[in-house]
Structure 1
Amino acid sequence: MVDKGSGTVLHRPLMILAAAMAVLGAIALGGLLFDDRSLVNAPIWLKPLKFTISVGLYAVTLAWLIGQLTRGRRLGWWLGTVFAVGLGLDMALLFWQLIGRGRTLHFNRETPADQWINNMVANGAFTGWGATAAIAILLLFQRLPDRAMNSALRAGAALSVVGIGVAMLMFGPNEQQMAQYQSGVKPSIVGAHAVGVPDGGPGLPVLGWSTVGGDLRIPHFVGIHAIQVLPLVAFGLLMLARRHSVLESEFVRRNLVRTVSVGFAGLLALLTWQAQRGQSIVHPDFWTLLTGAGIIAVVAAGSVLSLRVPRPMHQLT
């Protein structure tokens, strides 16, 4: 499959995965409209819809990234295939468990079947994480014509790996589950999205992120989509260069991308720290606000310095 705009050969297994997610997403949207079943205080079709959108976008992005590889492209192809198979299996199990069986997916160890499905989904996710990490390493050895995009791809892939890794924090037993273990009772649920409050409590519309406690899904979501956000920043700066001469220098654009990447990393760390303290995204305390203000100040200062950096002498001739 070829991207006619760039001539890049897109990764076929990943594009098949993306197409499958588009079909399943349409089905999930229909289910959300016409099936009033709920699970853990949320519409039963909401999680499948969110996952199909996220996985579909990620598959397309990863296919494009692999197409940018000039070194190790064959290895990149196999890594993309591993990702497509792992996440494809995960999505099949997600629909089977949630829609077919009407039971929770993540952390569920109530029956042998639930535990097997939970373990298989975790294995698929970790396989995808490993493949993405390997692709991020491959990107370190690439030299793209545009320095800004080169930096965006590397930082985006690296932060995406960190974002996927944040999910590992969800799979350990929380305080209540540890207390059950210590009392000799084996809990049926091991792990949680929320911190400090039970899963399924009050949350933001559609997203479902907790409004009364910490929620590790927030840094997980933000992190994994760095792989799309930062390349879009680089592309946006390239478009703006047509109107603003200061952005014509790829060194200026590269420095701006690096500044945004530092800010994105700071935001990811802040959101993880906030969630781990059991603090809701909508009720930040003084220290969260102060840290956020510090990140904004660093990005602002870095942006100003990036715009003032003189171009290399060979560009002035």
Structure 2
Amino acid sequence: MTKTWHRPTLWLAVVMAVGAVGCAVALLLDGRVLQGSSVWAKPLKFAVSLAVYSATLSWMLSLPHKGRRWTSGAATTIAAIMFMEVGLIAVQASRGMFTHYNTSDDPLNLVLQFTFGTAIPAMFLANVVLALVLSFQRFGTRDVRWAVRSGLWLAVLGMFTGYLMVFQPGKRTTAVDAEGRSVELVTGHSVGVPDGGPGMPLTGWSTTGGDVRVPHFVGMHGLQVMVLLALGLAALGLAERVRTRLVGVTALGYLGLLALLTWQALRGEALIHPGGTTWAALGGLVVVVAAGAGWALRSGTAVVSPVRQPVPQR
């Protein structure tokens, strides 16, 4: 059976890659800023992230499995909503307006906020459907199968952390957009500090307080990490049993890291300024994962032995 990549997600990856280049050019030519960052920084980051994510989905759905109608339908829904989401973000960037948390009564903004409020939950549910269907399918080798399953659920959890940005009761900020218009922003991604403060290069993640975008990003791209791990372990020639156990250990460790980053963000602690409690939790996680990796490598023959050819008798 010839493997065929899922076309809607593959085309989305291409469109997002081209869009990322366009946003990068616009970022260099357009000097307007929103809360200290280029108006084109947000669509650029979304385009790059979703190009990687959709390409992974496209490859993943090429693996022979049952329930293709369900998985293809869910992935097509995801692709359509992702395309719409980045398109709307780019439109708002061109207008110099905030995309998320924007309470402006501008007609287009009101339509955008309503669209986001209905489409994003639909995309989240489509990812849940995809993870559920593939959780009960046999495809590929055991290590690839568990890498895909765990990666999908990590991505779902990462997407779920995005709702923590929406439900920050009482957080309201008055900001000025790129065109000088005063806008009230409700909720936000920073915890303990206003959005738009000092941030890390490229990502813009807060350096003075918690930032829910950190676990959101890390969780969403757990799928790519797990798939690349499985492919890398296979390239090393490790036995399937060992590869499967290493995938399992990594998935649990990644889940622990996601929980730790979420906990850190909600405590209002910046990613690059962890306190003693965070360091202790991270150290414990590293020890547990290292012990698990050691157990996996000692669980049997680590490397697949080459097949010996019989010696011809003279």
Q: TM-score, normalized by length of structure 1? A: 0.88
1:123 is displaced (CA, Å) by 2.6
1:294 is displaced (CA, Å) by 0.8
Structure with more helix by fraction: 1
Task: State the partner residue of 2:100.
Answer: 106
User: Which residue of 184, 204, 213 maps to 2:209?
Assistant: 213
Task: State the partner residue of 2:22.
Answer: 27
Q: Distance in 1 between matches of 2:38 and 2:140?
A: 47
User: Which residue of 221, 233, 242 maps to 1:252?
Assistant: 242
1:26 is displaced (CA, Å) by 1.2
CA deviation string 1:87-116 (max 9, x = no partner): 1111111111121x2100011112153233
Gaps of 5+ in 1: 1-5, 179-186, 242-246
Matched, 1:123 2:110: no
1:177 is displaced (CA, Å) by 3.2
The answer (yes or no) to whether the contact 1:237–1:253 under 8 Å persists in 2 is yes
Task: State the partner residue of 1:286.
Answer: 276
The answer (yes or no) to whether the contact 2:210–2:266 under 8 Å persists in 1 is yes
SS class of match (1:57): helix
CA deviation string 1:18-58 (max 9, x = no partner): 12112211110101112111111101111111111111111
Matched, 1:188 2:184: yes
SS class of match (1:68): coil
The answer (yes or no) to whether the contact 2:78–2:126 under 8 Å persists in 1 is yes
Query: Structure 1 residues 17 and 145 mapped into 2: Cα distance closer, same or farther (>3 Å)?
Result: closer
Q: Distance in 1 between matches of 2:252 and 2:31?
A: 43
Q: TM-score, normalized by length of structure 2? A: 0.89
Opposite residue 88 of structure 2, the aligned amino acid is L
Task: State the partner residue of 1:244.
Answer: none
The answer (yes or no) to whether the contact 2:162–2:216 under 8 Å persists in 1 is yes
Q: Distance in 2 between matches of 1:47 and 1:106?
A: 11
The answer (yes or no) to whether the contact 2:100–2:113 under 8 Å persists in 1 is yes
User: Which residue of 52, 59, 64 maps to 1:57?
Assistant: 52
Task: State the partner residue of 1:80.
Answer: 75
The answer (yes or no) to whether the contact 1:83–1:132 under 8 Å persists in 2 is yes
Opposite residue 298 of structure 1, the aligned amino acid is V
Q: Distance in 2 between matches of 1:175 and 1:291?
A: 30
Percent identical among aligned pairs is: 39
The answer (yes or no) to whether the contact 2:171–2:186 under 8 Å persists in 1 is no
User: Which residue of 11, 15, 20 maps to 1:16?
Assistant: 11
1:122 is displaced (CA, Å) by 3.6
The answer (yes or no) to whether the contact 1:149–1:234 under 8 Å persists in 2 is yes
The answer (yes or no) to whether the contact 2:233–2:243 under 8 Å persists in 1 is yes
Opposite residue 254 of structure 2, the aligned amino acid is F
Structure 1 moving runs of 4+ over 3 Å:
173-178
Q: Distance in 1 between matches of 2:289 and 2:68?
A: 34
SS class of match (1:9): coil
Task: State the partner residue of 1:228.
Answer: 224
